[in-house]
Homo-oligomer: A and B are copies of this chain.
């Protein structure tokens, strides 16, 4: 693998002249330029960007940490980020934290040592050490979808409180009274906010004594266990809200289990662009966010900040949820009970 000196030698010029040709910078005579280009082609020379990165302290690289790219919510966010990065000339290090603070911190330190210019993170927890570690290195961060106990960090997130309020109210308007929320962990802002919105809608409707929140994790197994408990309790809910699509997948495993003899007409309402897979359920409501745009916006805010490090206004972008009814048959209400 040839380096800039090999090319320079072959073309009979100095390395800096090769550099000028590569970067189209300053004047190089046509004759010298073509000699250099010939040498580059003959040697299959590919400039090593680690050199400039060392000097300039800019790698044009960003770290992207989501909890699990397998979740279609994050998949689409990541695609938005990647498209923005492609346009802006950045490259992406992709990491999955699996909702683990340890893994998140480990990735953070590795990415820092790789000299990423900035971070896009869906923090595993409202109080994440990773962010402080990054801030000590004065690298910009934009949070994805989740708030944090730190007012100085940019964030692009969905309006989880209002989303939960709308979804709950929608079920209440359909005459549901026994509505249960299968939620994520108390340490994740989206779960906290979704509980808040759910509570507000229940209270407004005079149903506060029916408020029933299960706190679990954003994964299949937790959804399964919470649904099992909720449905085997004394008073069976007529509607279940799953706080994210992974919880919904677990809940569906319970709802579709014939042996448990659970009535088919329990309504399921789901956050976060559920793979329509689940439209198999007779009564389904989904509420989702513009995830691709979330990725695009977050990435562009980060690049903006990298280009204008002096700007200090903190950006808090809150995107609306959109209600999507996907009942495959019949009305999603508890009238048949």
Contacts and interface: CB of A to CB of B under 8 A. Distances in A.
A278 B280 contact: no
A48 interface: yes
Contacts of A113: 46-49
B46 A109 contact: yes
Given A49-B113, A276-B280, A82 B95 contact: yes
A225 interface: no
Copies of this chain in its oligomeric complex: 2
A138 B136 CA distance: 39
Given A93-B93, A275-B276, A279-B277, A115 B49 contact: yes
A91 B114 contact: yes
A30 interface: no
A79 interface: yes
A60 B325 CA distance: 47
Interface in A126-151: 136-138
A112 B50 contact: no
Interface in A260-310: 275-280
Nearest to A54: B50
A232 interface: no
Contact of A82 (B48, B72, B92, B94): B94
A280 B83 CA distance: 31
- Taking residues whose C-beta sits less than 8 angstroms from the other chain, chain A's interface range is 35 or more
B75 A69 contact: yes
Nearest to A60: B114
B82 A76 contact: no
A180 to B, nearest CB: 24
A140 to B, nearest CB: 14
A311 to B, nearest CB: 20
Contacts of A61: 114
A69 B91 contact: no
Interface in A74-100: 75-76, 78-79, 82-83, 86, 91-96
A110 interface: yes
Contacts of A328: 280
Contact of A91 (B68, B70, B75, B93): B93
23 contacts: A1-B138, A46-B109, A46-B137, A48-B113, A50-B50, A50-B53, A50-B54, A50-B115, A51-B54, A68-B79, A69-B75, A70-B79, A78-B94, A82-B96, A86-B95, A91-B95, A91-B110, A94-B94, A276-B278, A277-B277, A277-B278, A279-B279, A279-B280
Given A70-B79, A91-B114, A280-B280, 15 more contacts: A1-B138, A46-B109, A46-B112, A47-B113, A49-B114, A69-B82, A91-B110, A92-B94, A93-B94, A275-B276, A276-B276, A276-B277, A276-B278, A277-B279, A279-B279
Interface of A: 1, 44, 46-51, 53-54, 57, 59, 61, 64, 68-70, 72, 75-76, 78-79, 82-83, 86, 91-96, 109-115, 136-138, 275-280, 328
